[in-house]
C-alpha cells in the first residue's frame, strides 16, 4: 500500500479563519477521499477527489465550505473555510489500494480545534 502523510498533524485556529490540510501519497493513486471524524464519533465521507475532475461532495458538505484540490495523482488538499467550533474534528484522507480487494488506507489525520 502507498504511504500517506498529512500536514499539519494538528492545529488550533480562530473562528472565521480557514485552514488547508495537505495529503501526500508516496505513489500514484486514482481515487482519494476526505473524511471527517467528529469528537467521539465515527467517520463521515466529505468528498471524493479524482485527479483532473471536480471533487464529488456528499450530502451535507459543500464546495464553498470544503474546497478540495487534486492537482496530480499523489497530492490533494482540503480547505476548511470560515471555521466555527463545530468544525473541530479529525480530518483524514484515504486512498484506495490497487489490489483485488480494493483495500482502503487512511492517513494519520489532522486534528483541528476551532476556538
Partner 1 sequence: ELKVEQNPLFLSMQEGKNYTIYCNYSTTSDRLYWYRQDPGKSLESLFVLLSNGAVKQEGRLMASLDTKARLSTLHITAAVHDLSATYFCAVDSGAGSYQLTFGKGTKLSVIP
Collapsing DSSP to helix, strand or coil, 111 comes out as strand
Binding flag, residue 41, partner 1 (CB under 8 A): yes
Closest distance to partner 1 from the beta carbon of 16 (Å): 27
Mask: binding to partner 1, 80-99, rule CB under 8 A, as x and -? ------------x---x---
* Nearest of 94, 107, 79 to residue 13 by alpha carbon: 79
CB 66 within 8 A of CB 78: yes
CB 15 within 8 A of CB 83: yes
Q: Name which of 67 and 108 has its Cβ closer to partner 1.
A: 108
Q: Name which of 42 and 84 has its Cβ closer to partner 1.
A: 42
Binding flag, residue 31, partner 1 (CB under 8 A): yes
Amino acid at each position: 500500500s502507498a504511504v500517506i502523510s498529512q500536514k499539519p498533524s494538528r492545529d488550533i485556529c480562530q473562528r472565521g479563519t480557514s485552514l488547508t490540510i495537505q495529503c501526500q501519497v508516496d505513489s500514484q493513486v486514482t481515487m482519494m477521499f476526505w473524511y471527517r471524524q467528529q469528537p467521539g464519533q465515527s467517520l463521515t465521507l466529505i468528498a471524493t477527489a479524482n485527479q483532473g475532475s471536480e471533487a464529488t461532495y456528499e450530502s451535507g458538505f459543500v464546495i464553498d465550505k470544503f474546497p478540495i484540490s487534486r492537482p496530480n495523482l499523489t497530492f490533494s488538499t482540503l480547505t476548511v473555510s470560515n471555521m466555527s467550533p463545530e468544525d473541530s474534528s479529525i480530518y483524514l484522507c484515504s486512498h484506495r489500494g490497487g489490489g483485488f480487494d480494493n483495500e482502503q488506507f487512511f492517513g494519520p489525520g489532522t486534528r483541528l480545534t476551532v476556538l
